[in-house]
Amino acid sequence: MIKKNILNFCFVLCFNLINAQSINDAITYNLSDLSGSARFTAMAGAFGASGGDLSAISINPASSSVFLVNQFSISSISYENKTNTSFSNNVNQYIRPAMGSIPYPTFHFNQLGAVFVFNNNNKNENWSRISLSYNYGDKKRYNNSYIIEGNNSNGLDNYFLFYANGLKLSDLDLYEGETISEVYRILGNDIGFGAQQAFLGYQSYIINPVSFNPDNEKYVSNALYDNLSNYMKINTEGYHGVHSINLSGLYKNFIHLGININLHEIKYEKYSRFIEQGFSEKSNVTEVVFDNNLESNGEGISFQIGLIAKINKNIRLGAYYDSPQWIKITEKYKQEIVVDYIENKSYISEKIKPDVITIYDPYKIQIPSRKNISLAYIFKRGLVSFDYGVKNYGKTLFKETSNKTSNYLNNLNSQISDKLKSTNTLRIGGEYIIGLLSIRAGIFNEKSFQNNITLNNKATSWGLGLNFKRSSIDIAFIDNKNKNSYKTYPVVLTDNYYITNNKSQIILTYNFKF
C-alpha cells in the first residue's frame, strides 16, 4: 500500500499549488472580446458618454436612464478565427475549426437585455426619470483550436523528474491487487498533483529510480536526446458571461447616475496533446504523447458606478468605474500518457490511462479594476464618441478561498506584477442617420498588457441599422486582432509560445420598444 510521511506530503502539496494556478490563468481570465449589440460593437463600444444601448449599460450604468421608453434587445453572433502560432521560430496558421472531433459552433446568442423606464412628469421633482434594466453579455468566448510546433532541448522527462525527486519509490509502485486508477486517485487525494505526475512518469517508463529500494527518493531519465521535436495540439471552449442588474436615474435633467451589480459566470475547457519525437538512437524512449484535459468553472461578482453629464445641448461627458472582479474558480483535471520505448530490443507502447477526474480545491482570482472617461458630441443626424480607459493588469491577484497566506501565491502574484503591466484602451465611434438608415463605424485599440508583446489588441468595425417606429434591426462587422504569450507548462517546460488571433465577427441585433 502507498506509504507517506509528513515531509513528503508538504513537499508535494506545494507543487500541487503550482499546477493549480499560473500566469496563464491570469492572462486567460483577463481577456475580453469586442462583443455586445450590433450598434454597440459597430461603434467599437464607444458609448460611455452617449448611452441609450443595452450593451452600453454594461460599461457605464448611467446609460439606462438615457432611454426614453422601455426596450428589449437580443443579439446573435457568428465568427471565424484565424490563428497564427509561433514557437522556437516556427510559425503556423490555422482556421477554426482546425482539428479534433470537438464541435465548434460559430453561431450563438451573445447579448440579451431589457430596460424599463419610469418617467416623472412632475417638474418640481429632482429625479425626472428612473430606469431599471438587466443585460447579459459575453465578455469572452474561448472557442479556438491551434497547433504549436518547434524544437526544444528540454524534454518531458525533466518535467516528471521535477515532481518525482523527493518522493519514495514505495509511493509510486503498484502492489498486488492495486490498479493504475486506484493508485493515481489515492495519490491525488492524499499527496497531491505532483505525486500524480511522478506516478505517470514512472509507470510509463520515462523515468527510473536510481535504486529499486522502496525508500529510494532519486530518479533519472530513461530518455536520451539533444534536440527534440515538439508538437502540441490545443482545443479550448467556453465563455465568460456577465449578468448586469442596473439602476439609473436622471437628476435635474442634467446628470445621469447609475450603478450595476454584475454576476460573472465562467466555463472554460482546455484539451492539449503534447507529442515529443526525435530521441537519440540509443534512447530507450522513442516517443511520448501526453494528454491533459482541464475543466474550469467560475462564479463571481463585481460592481460599476457611472455618470453622464449634459455639458450643453451637444456635448456629453461620461465617467465610470469598473470594480475588481472577485471570482471563485473550481477545476477538474484528467490525464493520460502513452510512451513508446525499447526493452530487450522489443518495441513496447505503454499506455497509462488512469481514467480518473481529479477535483482541485477551489481558489479565488481578483481581476483588476478599470477607470474610464468618455466624451460624446451629439448632433441632429448622429454622434461621435470617444472612450478612454486605464487598467493595471499587473494587479491581478490569486488567493486561497480560506484567505490564508500562501508563499507560492505570493510569489505568483509578484511574477504577475512583473510580467503584466498597466495599459490604456481607446474607443472611437460614430453614427450618421439618413432617414430610416443608420451608418456606423468604430476603432478599438488597447496596448498589450504583457511586457514581452508589442502588438496591440485592435479592432475596426462598421455597421448598419434600420429604424422603424417601435423596433430596429442592426448589423455589425468586426475585425479584431490580438497577440498573447503563454508558457507551455507551469514548471520546467516554461518556454513561451505566441498566439496571434484574427477574429472576424458578424453581429445581428433586434430591438423592440414597448
Which tens digit of pLDDT belongs to each residue from 161-202?
Answer: 999 999 999 999 999 889 999 999 999 888 888 999 999 999
Domain ranges of the chain: 6-513
Is residue 7 predicted with pLDDT exceeding 70? no
pLDDT for res 20: 59
- Rg of the chain taking only CA atoms, in angstroms: 27
Contact 148, 87 (CB under 8 A): yes
First-to-last alpha carbon distance for the chain, in angstroms, is: 70
Residue 92: per-residue pLDDT: 64
Beta strands at 496-513 and 315-322: parallel, antiparallel or unpaired: unpaired
- What confidence score (pLDDT) does residue 16 get? 44
pLDDT at 270: 95
Taking each helix axis from N to C terminus, what angle separates 23-30 and 407-419, rounded to the nearest 10 degrees? 60
Q: What is the per-residue pLDDT for 406?
A: 75
pLDDT of 10 strictly over 70 = no
Q: How many CB atoms lie within 10 A of CB 454?
A: 9
| Domain 6-513 bears CATH identifier 3.40.50.300 | no
- In the chain, the percentage of residues whose pLDDT exceeds 90 is 75
The predicted pLDDT at position 8 comes to 39
Percent of the chain at pLDDT > 70 equals 92
Q: Mean pLDDT, to the nearest integer, of 334-355?
A: 93
What are 259's three cell numbers?
A: 450603478
Confidence at residue 89, expressed as pLDDT on a 0 to 100 scale = 61
Range in 102-106, 451-455, 456-460 the model is least confident about? 102-106
Per-residue confidence (pLDDT) for residue 18, from 0 to 100: 42
pLDDT digits (tens, 9 = 90+) for 260-287: 999 999 999 999 999 999 999 999 999 9
Question: Partners of 244 in the beta sheet?
Answer: 135, 262
Return the amino acid letter for 134: Y
pLDDT digit string, tens, across residues 218-251: 999 999 999 999 999 999 999 999 999 999 999 9
Q: At 22, is the pLDDT very low, low, confident or very high (cuts 50, 70, 90)? A: confident
Does the pLDDT at position 12 exceed 70? no
Q: What is the pLDDT of residue 422?
A: 95
Average pLDDT over residues 352-367: 92
Distance, in Å, from the CA atom of 495 to the CA atom of 488, rounded to the nearest integer, reads 6
Question: What mean pLDDT do residues 31-42 have?
Answer: 95
The Cα 144–Cα 223 span in angstroms is 33
Q: How far apart are CA 204 and CA 199, in angstroms?
A: 8
Question: What b/e sequence results for 272-301 when a residue is b if at least 16 CB atoms lie within 10 Å of its CB, and e otherwise?
Answer: bbbbbebbeeebbbbebbbbbbbbbbbebe
pTM reported for the whole predicted model: 0.89
65-119 residue pLDDT tens: 999 999 999 999 998 888 888 887 666 655 554 333 334 445 689 999 999 999 9
Give the mean model confidence (pLDDT) for residues 337-342: 95
Sequence-ordered list of residues with C-beta below 8 angstroms from that of 289, at least 6 positions apart, any chain:
273, 274, 275, 337, 338, 339
Predicted pLDDT of residue 13: 37
C-alpha cell at 287: 516517443
Residue-level pLDDT at 445: 96
- On whether the CB atoms of residues 258 and 167 are closer than 8 A, the answer is no
Q: How many CB atoms lie within 10 A of CB 256?
A: 27
Query: pLDDT confidence of 453, banded at 50, 70, 90?
Result: confident
Report d(CA 188, CA 196) in Å as an integer.
6
Average pLDDT, integer, range 337-346? 91
Average pLDDT over residues 118-135: 90
- Predicted confidence (pLDDT) per residue in 382-397, tens digit: 999 999 999 999 999 9
Bridge partners of 268, per DSSP, are 238, 296
